[in-house]
Structure 1
Amino acid sequence: MIYVTVGTQLPFARLIKAVNDIAAEKGLDVFAQVGPDKSHYHAIKTADFVGPEDANRLIHEADLVIAHAGMGTIISASQLGKPLIIMPRQFHYGEHRNDHQLATANRFRDFPNITVVEDKRSLSEAMDSRLEQADGPPLGVVPEYAPDSFIAELKKLLV
């Protein structure tokens, strides 16, 4: 199962339409949290809102997570070692107030569990690649808290 999330504040039709088209073409099982998007998507299951507990469960159960460049999803997928494809919202498409999601995506571009895409073609290619790797070794899990040794070194600096 593929879990897609775009957050709850704004719709992200460019991403959801692309996922819907790809799912229809490839017969993929997709559940998408679409925010305040009133469009109809025929090839995927959708919900406007998914609560935190259900979102964590869906990320845990997913073979692949696809999202806007929101920190909550980046952190959650990384903590569970899930492959994540992010497509940042872009200001010039009217998808957000500025391009902070491009900056976020660029910051995480080199993380082993994260693939950054810009358009439907690169999304489709990334989905193929990540789904082929689903049966491979698990990705590294990012711990929720910094290691004790790191905290000890920080304390030395602050004393």
Structure 2
Amino acid sequence: MIFVTVGSQMPFDRLVRAVDDWAGEHTDSEVFAQVGDSEYRPLNVRWTSHLDPGAFQAQVLTADVVVGHAGTGTILEALRLGKPVVVLPRRGHLMETRDDHQLATAGAFASTQGIYVANTLEDLRAHLDLVGGMALEQPAPSHAPECLLAVLRQFVSRGT
């Protein structure tokens, strides 16, 4: 199953429409989308506007792959739960977000195993065509490494 999420802050019609169009051509694929306040309503996938945190986590756990905007929360939660992620960054000039910070986020994660960055709708379609071959070798840790925690504790205890 492909789980699509646009996050909770802004609509992302370009992503929702692109996945819906792809699903219309791949009727054997199961897709569920959280579309937020997007104006476009999918015709070819099951969808809901919003999910509470528990329902969101359940969808991620059920999914074979997560498709979403390049929000750090979406990326990190999918990786933590052991799911590969396809991200399509929102674009400022398209009024999908206030600036192009998601391009930087996608770039920062681009070399991470299990993350597939789609910079164009053509890239997105190509990644969707390969969903069955995507995998994440192991989930990301849900906490910081002990060595980092030790340094932070020492820093805080010194008060500097």
TM-score by length of 1: 0.90
SS of 1:85's equivalent? strand
Question: Given that residues 78 and 141 in structure 1 are in contact (C-alpha distance below 8 angstroms), is that contact kept between their aligned partners in structure 2?
Answer: yes
Q: How many residues end up aligned between the 2 structures?
A: 156
The alpha-carbon deviation at position 155 of structure 1 amounts to: 4.0
Cα deviations across residues 46-85 of structure 1 (Å, max 9, x unaligned)? 1111111000010011001000011111110010120100
Give the C-alpha shift of residue 157 in structure 1. 5.7
**Is the 2:10–2:37 contact (alpha carbons within 8 Å) kept by the matching residues of 1?**
yes
Deviation at 1:126, TM superposition (A): 1.0
By how many angstroms is 1:87 displaced? 0.4
CA distance in 1: counterparts of 2:137 and 2:58, whole angstroms: 18
| Alignment check: 8 A CA contact 1:4 1:65 kept | yes
Do the aligned partners of 1:65 and 1:82 also contact (CA within 8 Å) in 2?
A: yes
Q: How far does residue 154 in structure 1 lie from its aligned partner after superposition? A: 4.2
**Matched-pair contact (CA < 8 Å) for 1:69–1:104:** yes
CA shift digits 1:20-62 (9 cap, x unpaired): 0111111221111111123232111111111110000100110
Percent of matched pairs sharing the same residue: 38
Structure 2 SS opposite 1:7: coil
- The amino acid across from 1:56 in the alignment is Q
Structure 1 gaps of 5+ residues are: none
In 1, Cα distance between equivalents of 2:46 and 2:145:
39
5+ residue gaps, structure 2? none
